[in-house]
Every structure is written in C-alpha cells, then in structure tokens.
C-alpha cells in the first residue's frame, strides 16, 4: 500500500501541490545502500575537486532561487525578505566550506618525523590526518527551510568532510526539499559524482527516522530539531551494535539579562528590540530569546510598560505547521493558568496556523512551582522573569545548558561573575545584543552544552566540519600507500605541522 | 563499618603492606565537592602558570622514582626496565603538555572582527576560544600503573585543559597510586593550587564508579580499561539528568597482517617479533596484537613452525591480579575446546598469578562458529588466523573498530585496498611494525572507532587535551570581560587566527 501526502499552506491549513509518495523501508534502505557505496570514492576526492563540487551545488541552488522562494513562501508562510536572506546564507555557507576544504586545513595534518632521541624510546615516523567518517544521516528542520534543511549546515559540512549523505526531507516543506535535492544532485553530477551520494527520504512516517538511525552503513547523525526527537535519536544510536555519534542541536531558551543601569538608559528601545527578537520568524528560531531576566525595580517596570504597549501592536505570520501550532496553543494555555503569572498578548490571528503572540511575566521565586516556564516553547512567546539584580548570577547558575546567553549592560556594570556563569552555560555569549542572528564564520559556536546540544561541537560555522571527520595515524608507511595529505611530496600543497612547524612544502 | 584492603603480590598471591580503608559514599562525595569548588580558579590559571603546575607535578613524580619503582614492581610484577621506561614516559607526557599549554595553542583562539559586508548580514565581532569543561572523573587502569593510572594520560590531559580531577585509584596497585597522588598534590601545592583540585577515591567497592559517574558536578569521564566497564560507564552517563561525555578507551584486537612476500623474506624474524609483541608485559597491553593474519600457504607454514619452536622457549611474568588471571584461564580453556583450533603453548608458570602463554591457530572459515576468537583476551595469548592472501581485505572488512591495525609487506605488494580498510577500521595503521609501542607525539592517534573507543578522539598524544575543552564564542564583548585569550591586547601572547590569518600580536 502506497500512501501519499501533500504540502500544506500555513495561511489556510489546506493541502496543495503534488501528491508525494511515502517511501517504504525498502526504498529508504536502498538510498542508504547506494549512498554508502559512494563513500570511498567521495572521500578520496582532492581538496580542489571537493571545493568544485561544493561550488557547483551552491551554483545550482542559487540558480533555483526564484522557484524556491515562491514555493517555500507558500509552504512556510515565511516572508520573502527572510527567505531571500536565508537562501543567501545557505549558498554562502557552501562557498565558505569550499574555501576551507580547498585550503586543506580540515585535514589537520600533523607529521612527526622519526627521532632516535625521543623519550622514552626512539620515535617512529608518525603522520596523522583527518578522514571522512562515512555515510551521514541528516534530519532536516522545519524552521529553516534552507539553512538547516536538505542542504543546510549539517549537509554542507558532511559533504565538505567528504561524507555522502542521506537526508530526511521535512514534510513541512516537501516541495522545497525536492527542488533543493534536485539542485544538489545536479551539482554533484556536473562534477562527475554519482547522484547516489546524496539520497533523500520522503514521508510523514516517523519510522523513517528509525530506519536511518539504525542502518549499519550510517556512521553519524546530524540533527537539528526538538529535544524530544533528538533524545530519541541519541537513544536509538546508543543501542546500536556499533553505536554512532549523534550531533543533535535541540533548541534552547537563550536567556537575556538586562541590568538596571542599561534599562535606565534605554528601557524603551530594549523592550522593543527584545519583542522583535522574540517574535522574529513567529518565534520559530532555536536562538529565540525564550527568557528575559529583568530587575524587580523601577527600571524593570519601565521595560514592562513598553513591552505591553508595543506587543499590543504586533501580529505574527502563521506557524509552520499544524503540529507546531497545536503544541504552541496547549503550552500557552497551560502556562497562562499557572499561579503568579501575568499574561500580555499581541494581535490575534486565526487564519490557518495563525496564533496570538503571548508574553508571560513571573517572579523568579514563582518559577519553581512551574518548571515549564524554564522549558523551550516554540513559537511567538517569551517568559520575562523579574528578580533583584543582586540575584542575576544565581538565576543564571540555576539554568541548564544553552545555545546562547546574552547580557545587556553598561560600562559601569560589574558583571564578570555573571559573564563567567553564562560562558559556562552556553556556546555563545552575547553582549548588548540579541541571539537571533547566527553568522557563519570561523569564530561562530552554536552548541556545546546539554540539553541544547548533544556534544561539545558546533552545528554552525566552519568548525562544524569536524563532527564528520576523525583522525587516523599512519606509522612508518610506504609513501605511495599514504593518503595524499600525508605524502612526503605534499601533492595537494596543504598546510601541515611538520615536527611542530607549519609548512606548505614537501618534506 | 569501615572495611580495608591490601596490595597483593602477583608472584605469590599474598597480600602485603598497609591496610587501606574503603572510602564511603560521603567521603567520595566530599572529594568531588571539594574538587568542583576549585574548577573556576584552576581554569583561570594563565598558560605560564598551568605549565609551571604541570612541570612541578612532573618534578615531584620524578623525585619519587626510586620509591615508586620498588613499590610498583612488587604490586604489579612488571620488570624494572618496563616500569622505568613507563615512568619516564609519564613524566615526559606532563612536560609535553606543559609545553603545549604554555604556547596557548590549545585555546584554538579565533577572532573574526566586525565586517559590514559579510553575507547575508553584517558580521559582529565574534571571538571564540576553548575553555575547560570542569571537574573530570578519571578511572585508572591496572596495566599501566604510571602511564594510564593516577597521573597518566587521562589525568595529565585533564589538568592541562584546566580541569580539576577526581581519580579512582586502581586497587591492583594501591600503594603506587598513593605515592603518585602525594606527588601530584605536592606539585599543585608548590604552585599555590589547592590540594582539593586532585582528589583520589580508594576502594574495591564497584559502587565508587557509580558515585563518580553520577555526581552532578562531574562534567566528563576519562576511562581506560575493559569494554565491559566502559560500556557500563557510558550507559550510566547517558542516563544522567545532564548526560556527560565518556571518553573510554576499551581495548582492542589490533590485528596484524603478513603478506606471502614478506614472510618469504623473513618468516623467522617476524614470527619471533610477533610473539615478543604478543607476550610483552605478559600480553597486558591494549595494543597487544590479539590477531595475526597469515597466508594459508608455505610462507604461513614457515611462520607457524617458528612460532611453535620459539614460543616453547618463552615464559611470562605473572599477571597483574587475580581477576585478570582467572579470566585469562577461563578464556583459554574455552577457546582451546573449540572445533578446528590448534593450540601452542610456551613455558608454564604457576606461582602466584602465573600463567602459560598460549597461542591459537585457526582457519578463517572456522572463526565464524566461535565469535570469542575475535574478542579481546587480556593476557599472553594471540589468535593466528590462516586464510588465502586474496582474502585479506575481506577479513579486514569483517573486523570491528580497533585502536591499531598493522600490515607487514614488501614494496612489491599491492595492498592499497587493504590499507584503506585498515585505516577505516582503526585510529593508527602501522606498516612493517607491531602495535605495542605508543609514542606520545602530536601525530599520535589512539582511539576513534567503536568498540575500541567511545568517541572520535584520542587518549594518547597531545590532542587528547581536546576531550576536556569546549569552545565558547563571545560576541561584541567589552574587552575587560573577555577571557584573556581573546582580549585585544593578547596579554598571553598566544597564537590566534584573526580574520583567517595567524597572529601572535595584539589587535
């Protein structure tokens, strides 16, 4: 029995477009087998070739821009400006990886030549370089239909590492996934790489996730999504006969702290900016500020007054899908009914998956009775916590791991203890800014602390490539049997550490 | 009720020396609490200070050399030469980490300055550097009383990373642990660091492992030992409210392949060298060659003839403790009774924990009926597998992840497919050598593939420090609130990547 599904327009809740067939287990297994069969050849591509492949994919995605924006707007109800920027970021990210791979830095090649005087015994010739893990299973996220979907950061970094990919398309934007998949395959094929190296599984069936995660040929998982699904994946992969790493980015509360001094200076501006950040993309960002911590004094009152009046003027676009809208609705009802909570709302919208932006205000002491206040709620909501400024560091210390933390302060504020705690709790600490923008740069860190992420790694920025590489040392090897990155002639002219000194030359 | 235990002399099986008290849960918890309280200050030590601490510890360990060798020989029955070399390696490893930390390379500092033209939006000031994870729980191994015990590679890399440590002493060499612990504490205190930063738990009680692994203050585990205990630790830590990484090195078969060509040239020398490697340290190495793969032809026959006659002349020192000796005895009996197996033995020894070196010979096709042949058996034994040379790559492909793999071949051998498979299966591939020597160098890789290890990392060599660090990005920060490694003045004069260019200067 073949079942099919359709895209859904979030502005109406009605299905539209082609009927898409649910893939069977045999079909998904076949994608995996075919992709795994390309692993050795794909991993062996030279830096120049791999860079050319990434650039060809970027060009194909860019060439699909017009069609993509149109289809993706209809599938996600996200505005043109946002999608245009996100697509540029997605293309840019592929180009940045191409540049990195071309330089060969990702091999992290280290050559220690023989040393008869090494301690405690003579040292042999040892040469180490990173190599691709093998086939990577990737799960597309609903909220970034380009940047964290079929050819988002996870896929781009896996391909850059030299790993073939099987990606699970997100059924919340299935036609977007198809266009992107076609573009990726066209890019691969234009560079002579088999289309099998990038398989895409389609369907609503949650079993697809299990099929991918339990397949013996899959060597690692890249996941961006909810803590609930992330934890299921981690559990499945830990129970395999050969456990594999799950690099899961599972969302975050991203608390933002405001000192009395900074609110004295600009409570109105910061209240508006905080609301804009919390409601951006209808609050469907993993970096949404889900908690704002403000002082329980007059400066905090001024902030709240502005939040109330500004919020009342704001509406948001419909949520991405029915599941998100339903979960948002029930979370809001539950939170609103808790003791000690004040509820503020924006403009309602009820067409399709439309919702009303809703902000909660609560004293820190009242959060203990309702732990849901300190959990992530996807959608246009945030919790404003009031407490004495002297208590800020204690509040930060009580929080779990986060993708980001932020503090707004003036030069007069003595906040080094608070900053230490925030750095201890998160992968990125922001000063006088909001978390809802993640630059794709070498210095970016997105992840690193449980439960926001499942490993010490980052899922954004160039270092995300290292999730899909592992080091292998070759000892006393015949030169022609070494990987090119380690051969004495340095045929790829990459940067290597030779006896502790960086060199791009031959030995 | 306080219970006590004693060291045991492996040459007699009799207890000796001081009665050592089993620690209670309250005592272990107290060690953990005190060590965690030092985490912030210890992590904040400058590169120069951290290097001085590591060198002070190295000096104290070196100063205890005479006493250590005497006590450790009696506790482990390992010979003086081996222990002398291992102690030198242990001291050297601390000094190497000091050199690395002093240079600041372990911060991997990356600074991306603001760029208004960045895509898709202006880039803020983002600066990333590694910081210490926090308190690390470490489990000492029985088989390396210095190099993988109280101040072995795991502890040295954790301290180098800026993490305080609680180590579980190994009851197989309890007095060695005490002397080393005193030396480490003396080194810390001589540099003004609290003795609390390095706690040691003592006892036979297996619950101690659970107490350490479940303590909320522990942020990571370093473990070297059996797959059985390693998997228990991984399971415990995955089930914590905040799961933590377990960096477990769980042993390995370390298969060594011999081509017909190389055996034609030197079957006798290689057979002797293979036996010496397999029986080194009474076969109690994680890098012991536990499988030798030889051709089922005349060259293989010549190898076996020499193995048989050479082995008959060899005896080994007693095993480290009763548990290891008992498990060895029962594994040998079980394997010897399997079908299709030929058994060769060395000279017996039955004083204390003495055993007889035992080698098994089996056709590849007969290994399927007895999967224990392809499992690690700690002690002086190895399994010689015979198969057609054309089948070597298939045999390698059928194996699980290994710490090391090796191949002996001549320049005439076409073995690139075999080498590819070996590199895919192991962290280190050795050509024309044996795995039982692990140099502490930048290029060393020890681990990386399940079930030999639980992560993509290495537990030997300088890169092992990265297990206990994670990156944190600071965005748009006030300079005085940045970690020194990221401040514009570069007060520690460390090497940083600034907008992609390496610099040791100020911004």
Q: Which of A230, A238, A456, A457 to probe by mutation at the B interface, max B CB count within 10 Å?
A: A456
A residues 367-406 closer than 8 Å to B (CB): 400-401
Cβ atoms of A132 and A144 closer than 8 Å: no
On whether residue A443 sits in a domain, the answer given is no
Nearest to A224 by CA among A254, A259, A248, A252: A248
Q: Which of A95, A102, A202, A249 is catalytic?
A: A249
**Chain B contact probe: residue of A117, A235, A441, A479 with most B CBs at under 10 A:** A441
Q: Could you tell me the maximum CA-CA distance found in chain A, to the nearest angstrom? A: 77
pLDDT at site A75: 97
By Cβ distance, the residue of B92, B443, B475 closest to A430 is: B475
Kindly state whether B472 is in contact with chain A, defined as any CB-CB distance less than 8 angstroms.
yes
| B496 is a domain residue | no
E strand or H helix that includes residue B473: strand B469-475
Alpha helices by DSSP H, B162-297: 174-190, 207-214, 227-238, 260-279
Measured CA to CA, the distance from residue B39 to residue B220 in angstroms comes to 13
List the A165-168 sheet strands across, edge first. A198-201, A165-168, A136-139, A220-224, A246-249
ipTM for the complex shown = 0.95
Which residues in chain B are contacts of A116 at CB distance < 8 A? none
Total structural domains within chain B: 2
Are both A147 and A233 inside the same structural domain? yes
Contact B377, B331 (CB under 8 A): yes
Q: Which of residues 83-112 of A touch B (CB under 8 A)?
A: 85-86, 88-89, 92, 110-112
Q: Which stretches in chain A have pLDDT values below 50? A: none
Determine the structural domain holding residue A172 and report its residue range: 27-250+456-468
Cα–Cα distance list, A203 to A10, A71, A177, A218, B279 (Å): 19, 18, 12, 19, 55
Are residues A91 and A152 in contact, defined by beta-carbon separation less than 8 angstroms?
no
Instruction: Kindly state whether residues B144 and B75 are assigned to the same domain.
Output: yes
| Same domain (yes/no): B122, B30 | yes
| Position B363 in a domain | yes
**Does A188 fall in a domain?**
yes
pLDDT of residue A340: 87
Could you tell me if A87 and A104 lie in one domain? yes
**CB of B81 within 8 Å of any CB in chain A?**
no
Same structural domain for residues B378 and B411?
yes
Sign of the CA dihedral running A196, A199, A205, A211: positive
Chain A 195-224, CB below 8 Å of chain B: which residues?
Answer: none
Q: 3-state DSSP call for residue A103?
A: helix
Q: In the numeric block, which tokens belong to residue A442?
A: 């070498």
Examine the domain organization and report whether A295 and A240 are in the same domain: no
Confidence (pLDDT) at A254: 97
- Cis peptide, bond prior to residue B451, ω within 30 of zero: yes
Below-70 pLDDT ranges, chain B:
1
Check if A177 is active-site: no
pLDDT score of B83? 96
- The residues facing A127 across adjacent strands are A111, A474
Q: Do A472 and B444 touch (CB under 8 A)?
A: no
A-chain residues within 8 Å CB-CB of B40?
Answer: 420
Closest by CA to A488, choosing from A471, A474, A467, A472, is A474
The confidence score (pLDDT) of residue A1 equals 55
B246 and B260 part of one domain: no
Residues B299 and B412 placed together within one structural domain of the fold = yes
CATH number for the domain spanning B194: value is 3.40.605.10
Q: How many A×B Cβ pairs under 8 Å?
A: 205
Beta-carbon count within 10 A of A468 CB: 28
For residue B350, what pLDDT is reported? Answer: 86
Q: What is the model's pLDDT at position B1?
A: 55
Interface check A121 vs B, CB under 8 A: yes
User: Is A447 a domain residue?
Assistant: no
Cβ separation of B463 and A471 shorter than 8 Å? yes
pLDDT in tens, B379-421: 999 999 999 999 999 999 999 999 999 999 999 999 999 999 9
What letter does residue B483 receive in the DSSP assignment? -
Residues of chain B found within 8 Å of residue A445, distances taken between Cβ atoms: 128, 471-473
Question: Is A309 part of any domain?
Answer: yes
Residues of A in contact with B127 (CB under 8 A): 443
Q: Which neighbouring-strand residues pair with A295?
A: A387
Last residue of a domain, one of B431, B447, B477: B431
Residue A198 located in a structural domain: yes
Cβ atoms of B247 and B61 within 8 Å: the answer is no
A239-291, pLDDT tens digit by residue? 999 999 999 999 899 999 999 999 999 999 999 999 999 999 999 999 999 99
Count CB neighbours of B235 within 10 A: 13
| Residue B372: per-residue pLDDT | 87
Residue A408, domain member (yes or no): yes
Cα torsion angle, A174, A175, A180, A181, sign: positive
- Do A299 and A191 share a structural domain? no
Measured in angstroms, the CA of A169 and the nearest CA of chain B are apart by 24
Cβ-defined contact of A89 to B450 (cutoff 8 Å):
no
Mutation target among A241, A459, A471, A476 for the B interface, most CBs of B within 10 A:
A471
Q: What CATH number is attached to the domain comprising B327?
A: 3.40.309.10
Query: Which of B241, B198, B247 shows the shortest CA–CA distance to B447?
Result: B247
Q: Is the pTM of this model over 0.90?
A: yes
A50/A197 same-domain check:
yes
Which of A286, A375, A376, A400 is flagged as catalytic? A286
Which three-class secondary structure string do you get for A15-72?
Answer: EEEEEEECCCHHHHHHHHHHHHHCHHHHHCCCHHHHHHHHHHHHHHHHHCHHHHHHHH
- DSSP of B5-65, one letter per residue? EEEEETTTTEEEEEEEEPPPHHHHHHHHHHHHHTHHHHHT--HHHHHHHHHHHHHHHHHTH
CA distance A379 to chain B (A): 24
Residue among B40, B429, B455 whose CB faces A474 most closely: B429
A138 and A271 share a domain?
Answer: no
What is the enclosing helix (H) or strand (E) of A502? strand A501-503
> Is residue B217 domain-shared with residue B288, that is, in the same domain?
no
> Is B471 close to A40, i.e. CB distance below 8 A?
no
Q: Which of residues 399-428 of A touch B (CB under 8 A)?
A: 400-401, 409, 411, 415-416, 419-420, 423-424, 426-428
Q: Do A119 and B400 touch (CB under 8 A)?
A: no
pLDDT by residue (tens digit) across B257-302? Answer: 999 999 999 999 999 999 999 999 999 999 999 999 999 999 999 9
Report the C-alpha gap between A38 and A29 in whole angstroms. 15
Which of B120, B416, B474 has its CB closest to that of A429?
B474
Which residues of B are known to be catalytic? 249, 286
Segment A358-394, tens digit of pLDDT: 999 999 999 988 888 888 999 999 999 999 999 999 9
């Amino acid at each position: 029995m073949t079942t099919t599904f359709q895209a859904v327009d979030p502005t109406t809740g009605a299905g539209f477009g082609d009927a898409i067939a649910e893939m069977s287990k045999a079909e998904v297994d076949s994608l995996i087998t075919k992709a795994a069969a390309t692993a050795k050849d794909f991993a062996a591509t030279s830096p120049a070739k791999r860079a050319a492949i990434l650039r060809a994919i970027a060009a194909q995605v860019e060439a699909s821009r017009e069609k993509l924006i149109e289809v993706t707007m209809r599938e996600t109800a996200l505005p043109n400006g946002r999608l245009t920027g996100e697509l540029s970021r997605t293309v840019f990210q592929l180009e940045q990886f191409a540049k990195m791979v071309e330089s060969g830095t990702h091999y992290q090649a280290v050559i220690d030549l023989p040393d008869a005087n090494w301690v405690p015994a003579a040292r042999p010739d040892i040469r180490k370089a990173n190599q691709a893990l093998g086939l990577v299973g990737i799960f597309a996220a609903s909220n970034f239909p380009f940047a964290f979907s079929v050819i988002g950061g996870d896929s781009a970094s896996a391909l850059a590492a030299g790993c073939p990919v099987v990606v699970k398309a997100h059924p919340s934007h299935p036609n977007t996934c198809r266009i992107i998949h076609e573009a990726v395959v066209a890019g691969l094929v234009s560079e002579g790489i088999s289309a099998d190296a990038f398989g895409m599984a389609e369907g609503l069936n949650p079993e697809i996730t299990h099929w991918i995660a339990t397949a013996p040929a899959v060597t690692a998982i890249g996941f961006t999504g909810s803590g609930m699904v992330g934890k299921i994946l981690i559990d499945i992969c830990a129970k395999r006969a050969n456990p594999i790493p799950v690099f899961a980015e599972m969302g975050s509360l991203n608390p933002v702290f405001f000192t009395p001094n900074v609110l004295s200076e600009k409570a109105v501006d910061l209240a508006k900016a905080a609301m804009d950040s919390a409601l951006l993309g209808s609050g469907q960002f993993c970096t949404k500020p889900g908690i704002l911590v403000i002082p329980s004094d007059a400066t905090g009152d001024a902030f709240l007054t502005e939040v109330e009046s500004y919020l009342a003027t704001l509406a948001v676009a419909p949520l991405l899908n029915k599941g998100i809208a339903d979960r948002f609705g029930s979370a809001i009802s539950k939170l609103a009914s808790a003791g000690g909570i004040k509820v503020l709302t924006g403009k309602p919208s009820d067409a399709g998956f439309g919702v009303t932006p809703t902000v909660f205000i609560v004293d820190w002491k009242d959060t203990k009775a309702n732990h849901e206040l300190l959990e992530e709620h996807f959608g246009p909501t945030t919790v404003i916590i009031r407490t004495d400024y002297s208590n800020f560091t204690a509040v930060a210390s009580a929080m779990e791991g986060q993708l980001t933390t932020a503090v707004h302060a003036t030069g007069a504020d003595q906040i080094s203890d608070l900053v230490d705690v925030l750095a201890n709790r998160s992968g990125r600490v922001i000063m006088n800014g909001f978390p809802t923008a993640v630059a794709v740069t070498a210095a970016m860190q997105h992840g690193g602390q449980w439960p926001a992420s499942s490993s010490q790694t980052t899922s954004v920025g160039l270092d995300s490539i290292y999730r899909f590489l592992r080091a292998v040392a070759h000892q006393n090897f015949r030169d022609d049997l070494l990987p090119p990155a380690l051969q004495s002639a340095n045929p790829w002219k990459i940067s290597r550490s030779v006896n502790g000194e960086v060199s791009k030359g031959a030995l």
